Structure 1
Amino acid sequence: MVQSVHRAVRVLRELATAGPRLGVTELAERIGVAKPTVHALLRTLESEGLVRQDRETGKYLLGPGLLQLGNAYLDTQELRTRSVTWADALASRTGEAVWVAVLADDHVLVVHHAFRPEGAVQILEVGATIPWHTCALGKAIVAFLPEERQAALLGGELPRLTGRSVADPAALAEQLEQVRGIGYALEDQESALGDAGIASPVFDRSGEVVGAIGVVGPVEHVLTDETARRKHAVAVREVARNLSRELGAGRGTAWSEA
């Protein structure tokens, strides 16, 4: 591991999670290095457009160069590219918003968002990150990871975002087992009160889970109405299977057996 690169990444992560504005002293304390070292890191990152300095306060923020890198990542994300048509079709079929996500450490990262068909104001959620255990997308992915990776995630930090978030590893393990049996995961106001989700895993040509696709909407639309919930679940799982086929997954993969 190259120490200077590791420290630069830690600076960026602190600005992303603890910011939006942090000074040299604050960053030095957070990452545990001397102020001159942090100042040198910031100057280098600033020269590359990855951070910028607020001229009024002297504190640092994330820079526009990160957006370029993020867009480049999305442009090369095959799951996102392949999912656009399927997500639009699922949104039309269910009348709800559709998210496509991948696992990034212990969070899911939304890489595509198809708006629900109705014309109400909606916020684009591409780039949003959510703790894996608080959303259907995360549970759908983690349920099909290798056992050792599942164990590591279950043994890691499990923050509560709402009073309905499930943070008990044993309870989550039971949910993951259920997901493997039925082929889709549920979320009931676990990341945001009033919202619910249904998601299914997506597999690639290697047979490994690469992400998930699902509907997200008001709990009364997605879960409370039993008939609607079943229709949404069937639609989500069907689209996930078709998307997996497009990514090259064979009929012997886990999704075809669920």
Structure 2
Amino acid sequence: MKSVTRSLRVLEAVAQHQPVTVGELTKLFGLPKSTVQRTLVTLAEAGWLRANRKDTTRWEIGARVLAVRPAALQGSSLFAAAREPMIRLRDQVNETIHLSVPDALHSMVVVDRVDCAHAVRTFHAIGDTSPLHATATGRAVLAHLPERDVEEFLAGELERFSDTTPVDSAELLAELGRIRTDGYSVNRNQFRPGVCAVAAPVLDEEGTPLAAVAMSMPDSRYDAERTPEWGRLLADTTAEIARRRLGA
């Protein structure tokens, strides 16, 4: 049991301090470097941890943790508040609706999905992650984060996924301003080719983004003229979710 307890403590420490080095963890726990390294490798082999893409000497939370998180969220007030409005929105627009939550400044994680009736539709597996800057859900959240968090995010390198992915800081800042004004964000082939989405944030009583709800569709069904209508429906849906979460 000692090794299990140690593994859990290391996992918690990585989550708190990520991306973190073996040396930093060794100082934190007062354990031999070989013991910490062995624990990290074991957790990585199981999918709980991974090496940071930019600096492989640093460790961060892995995809398995992100996949487990949605299951844990299912008992939360957010999940419970969102389900019925998402179904109602799906019935109105007949497109796939999904709920995503931010994983710090790293990504968005899909935690719930309501499928449409179309034979050809988009698919987002529960636990799927996506980049903040390249997606409608990610930008809906980014637009409502504190300025210092946005600056920290923009200080990193923004990966390009398609010809239209916003990777220029000034361009992205202008887009975030538009999202705050309009109340919704749009993604047209900026992450996955042929996939479009419109999203709105779920905000708490202080204006902090807790999640985002999106409707996604193949590019063949995207209609730019209907985007403001879809945006209003999404904004109404997320406002209802925020009220239901507070019991209003």
* TM norm. shorter chain > 0.5: yes
| Equivalent of residue 238 in structure 1, options 226, 229, 236 | 236
- Which residue in the other structure is 1:226 paired with? 224
Q: Alpha carbons of 1:231 and 1:248: their partners in 2 closer, same or farther (altered >3 Å)?
A: same
- Which residue in the other structure is 2:10 paired with? 5
1:215 and 2:215 are equivalent in the alignment: yes
Q: Alpha carbons of 1:6 and 1:170: their partners in 2 closer, same or farther (altered >3 Å)?
A: same
* Partner SS, residue 125 of structure 2: coil
* 1:102–1:211 contact (8 Å) kept in structure 2: yes
Q: Alpha carbons of 1:67 and 1:130: their partners in 2 closer, same or farther (altered >3 Å)?
A: closer
- Which residue in the other structure is 1:99 paired with? 98
Give the % identical residues: 22
Displacement after TM superposition at 1:146 (Å):
1.0
User: What is the alpha-carbon distance in structure 2 between the residues aligned to residue 71 and residue 137 of structure 1?
Assistant: 16
* 2:121–2:218 contact (8 Å) kept in structure 1: no
* 1:203–1:209 contact (8 Å) kept in structure 2: yes
- Which residue in the other structure is 1:112 paired with? 112
User: Gaps spanning 5+ residues in structure 1: where?
Assistant: 15-27, 52-62, 251-258
- Which residue in the other structure is 2:88 paired with? 89
User: What is the alpha-carbon distance in structure 2 between the residues aligned to residue 125 and residue 212 of structure 1?
Assistant: 16
User: What is the alpha-carbon distance in structure 2 between the residues aligned to residue 50 and residue 220 of structure 1?
Assistant: 36
User: What is the alpha-carbon distance in structure 2 between the residues aligned to residue 103 and residue 40 of structure 1?
Assistant: 27
Displacement after TM superposition at 1:68 (Å):
8.6
User: What is the alpha-carbon distance in structure 1 between the residues aligned to residue 10 and residue 89 of structure 2?
Assistant: 41
* Count, aligned residues: 217
Displacement after TM superposition at 1:157 (Å):
2.6
Q: Alpha carbons of 1:8 and 1:205: their partners in 2 closer, same or farther (altered >3 Å)?
A: closer
Identify the range of structure 1 (146-155 vs 66-75) with the bigger mean alpha-carbon deviation: 66-75
* Partner SS, residue 132 of structure 1: coil
User: What is the alpha-carbon distance in structure 2 between the residues aligned to residue 122 and residue 172 of structure 1?
Assistant: 25
* 1:8–1:41 contact (8 Å) kept in structure 2: no
The AA in structure 1 aligned to 2:207 is G
User: What is the alpha-carbon distance in structure 1 between the residues aligned to residue 207 and residue 103 of structure 2?
Assistant: 19
Identify the range of structure 1 (168-177 vs 206-215) with the bigger mean alpha-carbon deviation: 206-215
Q: Alpha carbons of 1:78 and 1:99: their partners in 2 closer, same or farther (altered >3 Å)?
A: same
What TM-score, normalized by structure 1, do the two folds share? 0.70
Displacement after TM superposition at 1:78 (Å):
3.0
User: What is the alpha-carbon distance in structure 2 between the residues aligned to residue 101 and residue 113 of structure 1?
Assistant: 9
The AA in structure 1 aligned to 2:224 is E
* Partner SS, residue 133 of structure 1: coil
Displacement after TM superposition at 1:97 (Å):
0.6
1:80 and 2:85 are equivalent in the alignment: no
User: What is the alpha-carbon distance in structure 2 between the residues aligned to residue 218 and residue 211 of structure 1?
Assistant: 23
User: What is the alpha-carbon distance in structure 2 between the residues aligned to residue 128 and residue 35 of structure 1?
Assistant: 33
User: What is the alpha-carbon distance in structure 2 between the residues aligned to residue 75 and residue 125 of structure 1?
Assistant: 15
Identify the range of structure 1 (73-82 vs 198-207) with the bigger mean alpha-carbon deviation: 73-82
Q: Alpha carbons of 1:193 and 1:147: their partners in 2 closer, same or farther (altered >3 Å)?
A: same
User: What is the alpha-carbon distance in structure 2 between the residues aligned to residue 41 and residue 143 of structure 1?
Assistant: 35
User: Gaps spanning 5+ residues in structure 2: where?
Assistant: 1-5, 26-31, 49-61
User: What is the alpha-carbon distance in structure 2 between the residues aligned to residue 130 and residue 188 of structure 1?
Assistant: 15
* 2:109–2:128 contact (8 Å) kept in structure 1: yes
What TM-score, normalized by structure 2, do the two folds share? 0.73
Measured against aligned partners, the alpha-carbon deviations of 1:183-214 in whole angstroms (never above 9, x if no partner) come to: 00111101100111111111123432211111
* 2:203–2:242 contact (8 Å) kept in structure 1: yes
